[in-house]
Each structure stands twice: as structure tokens, then as C-alpha cells.
Amino acid sequence: MHALSKKHRVAASSPKGLGMVIAALYLLLVSVFVPGCRREEDSAVAAQVVTTKTGIEMVAIPGGFFEMGSAKEGLDESPVHRVWVSPFLMDRFEVVQEQFKKLQISDPSHFKNPKNPLEQINWTDAAMYCNERSLAEGLDPCYEEKTWQCNFKANGYRLPTEAEWEYACRAGTTTKYFFGSDARRLKDYAWFKDSSSGKTHPVGLKKPNPWGLHDMYGNVAEWCNDIYLKSYYSQGEQRDPKGPAKGRERVLRGGAWNSRADACRSAYRASDPSIDDTCLASDAVGFRCVRNASDNVSSEPNMTAQNPHNSASKTGLVYDDIYLEHKTTPGHPERPERLTGILDNLKAKGLMDKLTLLKPAPVSLEWIKTIHSQQYIDRVQESCRDGTAHLDSADTPISPKSYEAALAAAGGVLAAVDAVMEGRVDNAFCAVRPPGHHALENRAMGFCIFNNVAIGAKYIQKKCGLSKVLIVDWDVHHGNGTQAAFYDDPTVLYFSVHQYPFYPGTGGEAEKGSGKGVNYNINVPLPARSGDDVYIKAFEEKLRPAALDFSPDFVLISAGFDAHENDLLGGMAVTADGFARLTQIVKAIAQKSCRGRLVSVLEGGYQLKGLADSVEAHIRVLMR
């Protein structure tokens, strides 16, 4: 696709100021749009998401003015001109291959995967898909299929005008990119030349723009409805401009997997002369649909409105009876009843039916070996088989099935990560044992055999291709094993709040990481008897700013509940409500940074009622 590699242009800045006005206007409109929806405290701007009859998510884009184009970057991007765009709905994601299959249209894509964007699609076929989708939902098609003229008054789907595309992409910003002007940050938002490994990727894995639209930059360039004319901006209309009347080329926006950063800018324009020639269609070209909207989207008959941050959320619960087969010695606080107590309480409170039950997948040793040595893994297996009573110390009693249970505990975390990544659940709690955060590369410690959370973080990075993981550890004990696993690693931010001095002895404030990992290990040691207020203050003042600055792609919680006021081992005074508040803060971080991707994993918690109540409070917040 020659058009996507247009020759280099001179960099420049664009006018500022109006963006703030638009953003304010937007917030105002959103609050009018969604009167009944609760906004999560401190969540990202809550754009309204609607789900169409055929199950496609669209974002309600409010009407407004914006400054279109760029003064100096591309000749075809100037002059910058003020444009009004009426409210519309835009697909939250690029059209993916499985959507085409649903309408029984054959899939032309080169990089085959149901969740990858559709590509190798020419403009007319994209317009035809819009019509098919309109018909499937009982709407009036916009395109006349002989001339491909667009009827903008029809209520069906169409390609966005170039003005609609840029307005939605900018989302109130006036900088080069919607995240600012530093192209080095583009890899967090886009699959482009430097991040794509030469192919498209499933939509929605990169961070969205401020209005919740994903993959506006990179992955595939997107068709606009407009005919491309280099000099059009000097003569375009001010209100809902629709492009020139005549011409052969159509506009492409946003850059693709093979584009350099500059071609992904909000104002960057490209075109393709091959619109009527399927042979020239490229695997770097796709699209997303829009349709007209009134200001009150929720009242439209074939839409289900929801707030993306507060939709009827799906929370997963990982559990398997194998976890009860890890037997410890009589009187040991880490016992199977911890889990049965949690489950009985969830059943009694009617929560069980509302959770998506997830089973641990058989875990490949490859994942255990990302954290533990082969020699240690073998030793765990042999010790269980031989009937050895303890692993490494009297703290960690084992039984014949402890090895299997420990593998399944790690496997449970991986199953939860998969379910979140595949969109089967929004988040998940893993009711697993043995716990993991004290386990070291070569040694069991503090009731822990394999480090479930650390293995989960490696899996997220290596299997799911996400780069940054935040681990929040609120177990009353310091997670020395997790700290050790990522001490020099700047891609995993480990945050631990714990009683100190206390078992296992580590976790001082001065332990901040080493090498490239300096400042990516944050310990907040607290004195005994610390309660809800102290914990919440630490989360608000220490965790929140560091986490938002780090901007994780996935959040894991090492959820130990042994800081509960009645716990048998801990000396802290946190209540079930306090754990709910902590959950709320971590959830808001996940929502702001990574579409809410969060998996929480049980660590400690030894007073059965305090544990069950705390887990219930924790899960209720995850489910909201």
C-alpha cells in the first residue's frame, strides 16, 4: 500500500486551548447522556458504550467543535480549520473477522484470527458490509449499491466522514497524538512498525483513547467515507463536512501495523487510488463503522446502553476441589477449610450464581519454570511422592497431592488471565491454595510452594504479549518471593503493604529494586495495629500515583486477608469494609490503565469468618 507510506513530513505543533473546552463540553454531555449510571470514582472519562442488536460495542460520541488538521505537518493537513461534528456512534474496535463471518461474508484477511481486524478490504466492500450490518439490525442501509453514494440521513451504518474520524480520534486533544506529542509512547496505544512484529493483532489489546476507542492508531488503517483531495481543507464546510464531491481516491486514517509513528498521528491523511481494484487491496487496510445518533442514545430502540466501567460486570471465580487435597498438619492455619468457608459463604449470600466459575487449566511446566528452577520443581514432585512431611521448613507441610494442587493453583491464575483476555469475564478472583507469594526460585517458604502471582505475571507478558504488569500485595506479610522474582525488572511494578517488622523479615522501605528495576519495587511497611484508614491512605498516596504513572497493561492482586482485625497470624486491624475500599482503589487503577483487566489471587487469611467476610466484600466490589 503505497499510500500508507507517504513521504515524510515536517513536524509541527497544532493549536491548543479548544481541546479543554471540548473536553469540558464532553464531560457535560456525558453527564446528561447517562443520568442513571454511576461513575466509578476516579475512572477515566466515562464515554457511554452501547451494544447493537448484533452485539457490537459502539461508543456514543457527543457533538462538538474541534480544530481539524495540522498547521505544518502535511500539506494536505492544512489549513487548520474549526469544524462542528454532530453526535454519532462509532465502533469501539475495528471491524474484526468474526463479525464478517456472522454476516456470512467471506473473509478476505491475510492475518487470520477471529479477533483480528478485517483487512485486504477495498472501500466498496467495506461500504457493502455497512449495508449488510444495517439490514441485519433492521436499519436503513446508507449506501446505494450502484453508485455507492451515501445517504447521510439514513439511520444505518456507514464509514465515518474524515471529520468524524479525526474528531473521535482526538477526543478533545490538540496534540499530535491523543496522548501528547511524544511518539515514544505510541507503543502503548498502537501496533505499528516498531511494535507489531510485522502483523496485525487482536483488537483492544492496546490502550484506548480518552473516549474509549481502541486501535485508532495502527493495526489497520481505516477507510473513511470521504473522497480524498489534497487541497480540500481550504474549501471544506464548517458543519459536518462530507468531503469533495468527485475524485477516485478515498481517505485512509490512523496508520497501520506497517506504518512509522508519524503516519499514525491524529491529523495524518492518506489515500488509496485502488478503491475499485480488489487486486490492490492490502493487508494493512480495514475500517470501523459509524451511524448517526441523537443526543439520547439510550432511548434508541435497538441499542442497549451501558457505561463501560459499570456495565453488568462478569466476575470469574477460580476454584477446583484439588485445592482441598493439599493437606497440612493438624492445627496448621493454612488448611482446606479456608476455601470451603469462602465458598459456603458465597453460596449462602447468593453470589455463587452470579459468578462465572473457572477451572484451572492443566499447566505446562514451561510456565512454572519462568519463576522456579527445574531442580526445585522436581524436588517438590518427588517430596510429595515420597511422603515427605515438609518442604524446606516446618512451615510448609505437604501431602501426596500437594504437587498437583500447587500446579493447579498456578494453573488457576493462568485460566483467569485467559478468561479476562478473551473477554469471557471482566476480572476474576482465584480461590486457590497453596498460596504463593513467599515461594522463591529454589525454595518453598511460608506455606507457599509455587509463586502463583509471579507465574501469572510472566504468563501475561509472554503468552498475552502485554508488556507491563502491576502486582498489588496486601497480604499482612511481605511477599519476599514476588519481590525477588522482579527485583531488577522495570516491566513489573511490585507494590506491597505489610506489617513490619514481621515475618519473613524483608520488605523495608529501602528495598526499591535494583539495576533497571530501581523504583519498580515499592514497599510500604506499617506498624502493628494499623487499620483501614492507614491502609487506604497508603493506597491513595503511594499506590495510586505510582500505578497510574506506570500505567500497567494488567493488574494482579496478591490478596491475602490476614491483615483482618481477627486474624490468627497478623497483628493488623483491617475490616472487611476496608478490603472493599482497597479493592475499589485497585479496580479504578485497572479501569483507568487497562480496561479493567484484573485478576486477584488468594494468599493468606486464617480466621475463617474474617477471611470469608473479606473475600465476599472483595468480590462484591469486583462484580460492581
Site residues for Zn ion per CB under 5 A: 475, 477, 560, 562, 604
Shorter beta-carbon distance to Zn ion: residue 291 or 478? 478
Q: Please state, in angstroms and rounded to a whole number, the distance separating the CA atoms of residues 310 and 292.
A: 24
Cα separation values, 307 from 31, 39, 44, 205, 298, Å:
11, 8, 11, 19, 11
Q: Is 481 helix (H, G, I), strand (E, B) or coil?
A: helix
Smallest distance, Zn ion to C-beta of residue 555, A: 20
Q: Tell me the DSSP string of 38-60.
A: PPPTTPSP---EEEETTS-EEEE
**Best CA proximity match to 256, nearest among 281, 238, 278, 276:** 281
Give the active site residue among 326, 372, 438, 564. Answer: 438
Q: Which residues of 257-289 are buried (b: 16+ CB within 10 A; e: fewer)?
A: bbbebbbbbbbbbbbbebbeeeeebbbbbbbbb
CB of 264 to Zn ion, least distance (A): 46
CB of 451 to Zn ion, least distance (A): 13
User: Please, which residue, 237 or 337, has the CB nearer to Zn ion?
Assistant: 337
Minimum CB distance to Zn ion smaller for 220 or for 569: 569
Instruction: For Zn ion, give the closer residue by CB, 255 or 560.
Output: 560
Q: Please report how close the Cβ of residue 446 comes to Zn ion at its closest, in angstroms.
A: 7
Which residue in 312, 311, 292 sits closest to 300, CA to CA?
Answer: 292
Phi then psi dihedrals of residue 61, to 5 deg:
-95, 120
Angle at alpha carbon of residue 103, lines to 97 and 107, rounded to 5° = 35
Q: Residue 37 Cβ, how far from Zn ion at the closest point, in Å?
A: 37
For residue 181, CA distances in Å to 9, 18, 264, 270, 449 come to 15, 17, 12, 20, 46
DSSP 88-124: EEEESSPPBHHHHHHTT-----SS--TTSBP-S--HH
Catalytic-residue membership of 438: yes
Query: Please, what is the Cα angle at 272 between 269 and 274, to 5 degrees?
Result: 170
**C-alpha triplet 217, 220, 226: angle, nearest 5°:** 85
User: Closer CB to Zn ion, residue 173 or residue 523?
Assistant: 523
**Minimum distance from residue 373 beta carbon to Zn ion (Å):** 24
Cβ neighbour number for residue 299 with a 10 Å cutoff: 9
Least spacing, CB of residue 337 vs Zn ion, in Å: 17
**Between 411 and 560, whose beta carbon lies closer to Zn ion?**
560
Pick between residue 415 and residue 602 the one whose CB is nearest to Zn ion.
602
Minimum distance from residue 457 beta carbon to Zn ion (Å) = 19
Q: Supply the minimum distance, in Å, between the C-beta of residue 419 and Zn ion.
A: 26
Q: How would DSSP label each residue in 293-321?
A: --S-GGGSTTEEEE-TTTSS--EEEE--G
> Closest distance between Zn ion and the C-beta of residue 334, in Å?
9
Residue type, 375: Q
Collapse the DSSP code of 358 into the 3-class scheme (helix H, G, I; strand E, B; otherwise coil) and give the result: strand
> Considering beta carbons, is residue 96 or 601 the nearer one to Zn ion?
601
Q: Which residue is nearest to Zn ion (CB)?
A: 604
Alpha carbon distance 466, 553 (integer Å)? 6
Instruction: Count the neighbouring beta carbons within 10 Å of the beta carbon of residue 105.
Output: 16
Q: Are the beta carbons of 572 and 531 closer than 8 angstroms?
A: yes
- Which of residues 532 and 562 has its CB atom nearest to Zn ion in the complex? 562
Which residues does 581 contact at the CB level (< 8 Å), separation at least 6?
532, 536
Cell of 15: 493549536
Closer to Zn ion at the Cβ: 77 or 562?
Answer: 562
Report H helices in 463-575: 480-485, 532-538, 544-550
Cell 531442580 maps to which residue?
Answer: 375
Contact 307, 48 (CB under 8 A): yes
Residues assigned a catalytic role: 438
